[in-house]
């Protein structure tokens, strides 16, 4: 494959930016039929279809489908999907909710949150069109026409008006799609490996940390350890429980990053969304996180309240807010905060934590008196450290895989910027 750089080709300026001179600026409505095929109203009402909703699609992939009878399907959702169709997510359309049908399917329909695009011109490659929907050139147009705040969406008429740059040949369109598809395949394989490793880790946690029938030790013991585990009330081993500061914060970068309840995953910190204490506001040194600090989420939805995560110096400096409680343990009993992080994230104890939460259907809280009454089984310090080391090694391997996957996602973004604008040509 020969790479032609922009210096060897002329470019022209269009209303969506600079594109190669031999590319055409068209409209979506000129190259596709929208919602081209509907189910017949005479369809057997109990006939089962596979139904794709907005929640079933993530990062351009259909993750799941639901069986639904014709009689139960929304009348406007009865669009049949065929190979080569592109589903354009019209609700929150910049959240990567588009998808491509790249293999033969039958009895597949999608929700009203999608517009079905079926190219009707032989010089348009549907896979190229699919990737183009994620490009900056298209997303900038979507941002200008999107309507609504709580339920932002675009209508089908506006989708048809979206301007798209089109390479002159199917060969070039296919080459671009193939290059991006190869990266997608690598990302998917990493995702699958991460899921497999996460399942192995979860199984190991259940074996090592879930009490046996006697309730006195884990279901599986590591070699070299025996003896009963002690049953302790959490309040008997916590020597300090401190809520963080009540800080005004925003997403505007400042010198003081703030960890909030949304940053707590099950066992680890998630920094996909960053918050900062407002510039000029005073901070308390006691709220500054140190390596190994264990954070407990005191207030959240009934499903998410009680999340526990440990700070691994993900940032050089960070503070925590008043919805989070930092737990400090008696060092004579707890030899490893990492062990406690894993223990409190077993399914067994997550269920216990949710059972002591009080509140409404939308907001729940776990009060300190109830938290401290929780009973846990805990081994001696040496066994705690051994268990924590095994699970930490697994976490380290998972983190390496996540970093590799995230790097490939950034590589793909860079490739899209080059290939979908014609800055780099594949011929």
Report, as an integer, the average pLDDT of 379-383: 95
Question: pLDDT: is 201 or 146 the higher one?
Answer: 201
The three-class DSSP label of residue 19 is strand
Give the distance from CA 260 to its chain's centroid: 17
In DSSP notation, 191-225 reads HHHHHHHHHHHHHHHHHHHSB-TTSSSBSSPPTT-
Rounded to two decimals, the pTM is: 0.85
67-76, 97-106, 277-286, 384-393 — which is least confidently predicted? 67-76
Mean of pLDDT over the chain: 91
| Cβ partners under 8 Å of residue 202, min gap 6 | none
CA pair distance 175, 325, nearest whole angstrom: 53
- Tell me how far apart the alpha carbons of residues 312 and 231 are, in angstroms, rounded to a whole number: 28
Give one word for 306, left, alpha or beta, with left for phi > 0 and alpha for psi -120 to 50.
left
Separation CA 374–CA 295 (nearest Å): 17
pLDDT at 135 over 90: yes
Predicted confidence (pLDDT) per residue in 238-289, tens digit: 999 999 999 999 898 999 999 999 999 999 999 988 999 998 899 999 999 9
What percent of the chain has pLDDT above 70? 95
Q: Domains of the chain (ranges plus CATH)?
A: 3-168 (3.90.220.20), 170-209+382-419 (1.10.287.1120), 230-378 (3.90.220.20)
Instruction: List, for residues 50-87, the tens digit of each pLDDT value.
Output: 999 888 998 899 999 999 988 888 776 678 899 999 99
Distance CA 295, CA 265 (A): 11
Query: Is it the case that residue 8 has pLDDT exceeding 60?
Result: no
């Amino acid at each position: 494959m020969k790479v032609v750089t922009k210096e060897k080709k002329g470019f022209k300026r269009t209303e969506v930016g600079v594109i190669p001179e031999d590319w055409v600026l068209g409209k979506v409505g000129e190259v596709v039929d929208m919602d081209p095929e509907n189910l017949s109203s005479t369809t057997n009402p109990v006939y089962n279809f596979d139904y794709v909703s907005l929640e079933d699609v993530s990062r351009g992939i259909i993750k799941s489908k639901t069986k639904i009878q014709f009689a139960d399907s929304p009348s406007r959702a009865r669009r049949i999907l065929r190979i080569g169709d592109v589903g354009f997510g019209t609700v929150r359309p910049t959240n990567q909710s588009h998808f491509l049908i790249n293999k033969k399917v039958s009895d597949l329909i999608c929700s009203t949150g999608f517009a079905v695009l079926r190219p009707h011109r032989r010089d348009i490659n549907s896979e190229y069109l699919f990737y183009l929907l994620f490009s900056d050139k298209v997303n900038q147009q979507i941002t200008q026409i999107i309507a609504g705040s709580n339920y932002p969406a675009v209508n089908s008429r506006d989708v048809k008006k979206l301007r798209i740059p089109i390479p002159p040949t199917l060969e070039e369109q296919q080459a671009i799609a193939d290059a991006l598809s190869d990266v997608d395949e690598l990302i998917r394989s990493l995702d699958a490996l991460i899921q497999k490793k996460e399942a192995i880790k979860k199984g190991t946690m259940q074996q090592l940390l879930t009490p046996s029938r006697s309730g006195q030790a884990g279901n599986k013991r590591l070699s070299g350890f025996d003896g009963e585990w002690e049953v302790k009330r959490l309040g008997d081993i916590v020597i300090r429980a401190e809520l963080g500061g009540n800080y005004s914060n925003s997403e505007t970068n400042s010198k003081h990053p703030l960890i909030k309840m949304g940053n707590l995953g099950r066992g680890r910190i998630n920094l996909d969304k960053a918050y900062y204490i407002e510039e000029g506001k005073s901070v308390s040194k006691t709220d500054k996180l140190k390596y190994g600090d264990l954070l407990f989420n005191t207030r959240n939805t009934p499903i998410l309240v009680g999340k526990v995560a440990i700070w691994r110096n993900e940032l050089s400096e960070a503070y925590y807010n008043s919805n989070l409680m930092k737990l400090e343990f008696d060092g004579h009993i707890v030899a490893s905060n990492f062990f406690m992080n894993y223990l409190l994230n077993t399914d067994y104890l997550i269920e216990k934590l949710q059972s002591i939460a009080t509140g409404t259907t939308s907001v729940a809280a776990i009060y300190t008196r109830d938290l401290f009454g929780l009973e846990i089984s805990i081994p001696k310090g040496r066994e705690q450290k051994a268990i924590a080391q095994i699970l930490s090694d697994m976490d380290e391997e998972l983190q390496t895989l996540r970093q590799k996957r995230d790097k490939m996602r950034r590589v793909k973004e860079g490739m899209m910027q080059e290939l979908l604008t014609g800055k780099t040509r594949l011929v």
